[in-house]
A and B are shown apart, each in its own frame.
Chain A
Amino acid sequence: MFVSSPSSVTESNDESSGEDGADASDARTSELADTSSGEGESESYRVASYDPASRLLSVVNENGVPAQLSVAKGDNVQILGPALQEGRNLYLRHCMHCHGVSGDGAGPTAQYFKVKPRDYRQGVVKFTSTKANVPRPSRDDLFRIVKLGVPGTYMPSFMLLPDEEVHAIVEYVRWLAMRGEMERKLNAWLSLDYSKEAVADMEEPAEEIESAFAEAWADEASDNITQFSEELQMDWQEADKEENVVVPPTERVPPSPESIERGRKLFQGNKAKCASCHGLTGKGNGPSTESFNDLPGQPGVKSDKAGLFDIWGNIVKPRNLTAGVFRGGRRPIDIYRRIHSGIKGTPMQAFGSTLNKEGEIWDVVNYVLSIPFENKQGGH
């Protein structure tokens, strides 16, 4: 209910994108299709209310002002709700077993996995094409992961699911992520004044605390919820913008022995310090895997286990690059993006600004792609 973006109405003239909706959506959209509309552009509104009995849908614009949908015959009105419903059904069939009903990565089979299924609720996934300062994945990224799977983990490929079904799943996963984030934001806000400890410290009687809380909620909840959902909407929309996709400034440097050698020096040297985690030979056994680090989200609190943590609280091993298994994809651009923007949610940082000389990242990419074959080539 709180999340605005997926329950918005998108109006566009794109024929293909409107096929997702189930029969119910056709019935709803036909009512809207009677009014007239402008041409060529796409607008989106938020659903303010929907009355199933009269099948009347009212919408508001970005500022919350009631709006009139002007739609002409032949226009395509897409209500993302039905797509979400289909996505939910598909998610429950194919994904829930590992990723959990709420997307918390704790489905029934998750307990058997050494590599844990992604918990979406922080809105962070590892393998994205987006820039380092864009915290969310694009739809494209999620689509690719579902279609191709993640080799080296338990995530299988859903290559043969029809594209529309994968799109629906992607929408639902985004929705779960937004829901989780929204809950976390609300939680963080309420914990400012009403955390368990704070309430325990209060001296007023329970009724007074309750009524004060109700008052605070009535005063601030609406504004906060709007603000949170706007933040969410902005973050997720940023991720889908073309300018936020990492595109290398130059084409790949040919993987010549010289380039590989330059890459190796960067990998092992002090500039990029790849070796401090991935090890001198890329086996993923660098010194920092043996060090004691802060627990995720608790700066200053050391873990009693050695190793690197991701934000989900798992100890992550730096990738063993000699195995030739690349979770986020093996295309040069995939490795480039991993190095350029890092792997979100993990200690793998973004090196886009460190390796700033022309072709440096490509040299490292060439070296990384050559590691599995090093001995066979009789090289370094």
Chain B
Amino acid sequence: MNKFWPIFFMFWPILAIVSFVIAPGMDWWFPGPAMSPLGEQIDNLFYLILVIVAVTFVGTHVALGYVLWRGVDNKDQKAWFSHGSHNLEILWSIAPAGILMFISLYQLDVWMEFRVKTHFPEGTTPVAEVTARQFEWRIRYPAPGKKLMTTPQSDDLYTVNDLHVPFGRPVSIRLRSMDVQHAFFLPELRVKQDAVPGAVIPVWFEASKPGEYDLTCAELCGWGHYKMRGRVFAENESGFEQYLETLQAEQNFDGVTQPEHTGAQIAEYGIEDSQ
């Protein structure tokens, strides 16, 4: 029974090590592997911090366990009373400060690349304007082959909750909010950016693989917050162009010249189902 506390305190660092080792394989930390190059760097930063924290946590617990273990049978020797030690105080002020300073300097590159417009990767193309609104994402694309302008153009294309982008190259969106604060969150791509009313915030990302990614709102924006579910659809260049052309055909539909549902926005609801 005397050994209960040393064993108790040693149990936690062992559990911590086990879970640190198996967690990445089990996707406990993230919703799957990062699907963007910057996301990989962000994950690496996470793991760096995790290692620092884990070493500290395990180290202090091993020390605690060792002290307790030794103290169980030690009835004679008096403990060393360290309270008020000037040297120790300096040591454990400077050591964490140094670690924090290291982390803050080490992550600057990633931070700048992600957030500072002048450090965006070369060739980042604005593809769309995304306007958050209770409770949806309204999207405005330029017409195929045109550049995204800051003000609406007569040939712009509009859709909602369904953002298509090309994969394999950096693209950016102009993020706006029409009412309250929202956050543009792509968990698989490790992108999260608040949308602030009155501000236009450029957000860039690069999907490294084609596919469908979740777009959610990460800022509690009202009772219908959960409804702000969108998707980002990353496809190849020709697929993306084709999407814009389909959207354009659909948006210019005059009831006569083209089939009504071309599939870009909503699936067909056949008239024969309606009878």
Q: Which residues of A contact B (CB under 8 A)?
A: 14, 17, 42, 94, 97, 109, 138-140, 143-144, 147-149, 151, 154, 156-160, 163, 167, 237, 240, 242, 246-248, 250-252, 324, 330-333, 336-337, 362, 369-370, 372-373, 376
Q: Given that A149-B160, A160-B231 are known contacts, is A336 also in contact with B254, CB under 8 Å in the complex?
A: yes
Interface residues on B, range: 35 or more
Most buried by B among A94, A140, A370: A140
Q: Are A160 and B229 in touch, CB under 8 angstroms?
A: yes
Chain A residues whose CB sits within 8 angstroms of the CB of B255 once the complex forms:
246-248, 332-333, 336-337
Q: Are B251 and A240 in touch, CB under 8 angstroms?
A: no
B81 within 8 A of A: no
Contact of B154 among A151, A156, A252, A370 (CB under 8 A): A370
Q: Given that A143-B266, A331-B250 are known contacts, is A251 also in contact with B136, CB under 8 Å in the complex?
A: no
- A157 CA / B228 CA spacing, docked (Å): 9
- A210 CA / B153 CA spacing, docked (Å): 67
- A156 CA / B151 CA spacing, docked (Å): 23
A12 to chain B, nearest CB (A): 9
- A376 CA / B134 CA spacing, docked (Å): 30
Q: Could you give, for residues 136-174 of chain B, a 1 whenever the CB lies within 8 Å of some chain A CB and a 0 otherwise?
A: 101000000000000111100010111000000000000
- A109 CA / B260 CA spacing, docked (Å): 35
B273 within 8 A of A: yes
Chain B residues whose CB sits within 8 angstroms of the CB of A332 once the complex forms:
252-255
Q: Which residues of B contact A (CB under 8 A)?
A: 133-136, 138, 151-154, 158, 160-162, 223-224, 227-231, 250-257, 260, 265-267, 269, 271-275
B75 to chain A, nearest CB (A): 67
- A333 CA / B257 CA spacing, docked (Å): 11
Chain B residues whose CB sits within 8 angstroms of the CB of A148 once the complex forms:
160, 265-266
- A356 CA / B272 CA spacing, docked (Å): 31
Q: Are B254 and A248 in touch, CB under 8 angstroms?
A: yes
Sample of 9 further A-B pairs with CB below 8 A, known A94-B227, A156-B133 = A139-B274, A159-B136, A159-B265, A248-B256, A331-B251, A331-B253, A332-B254, A333-B255, A369-B154
> What are 6 pairs between A and B in contact, CB < 8 Å?
A144-B269, A149-B160, A156-B133, A331-B250, A332-B252, A372-B154
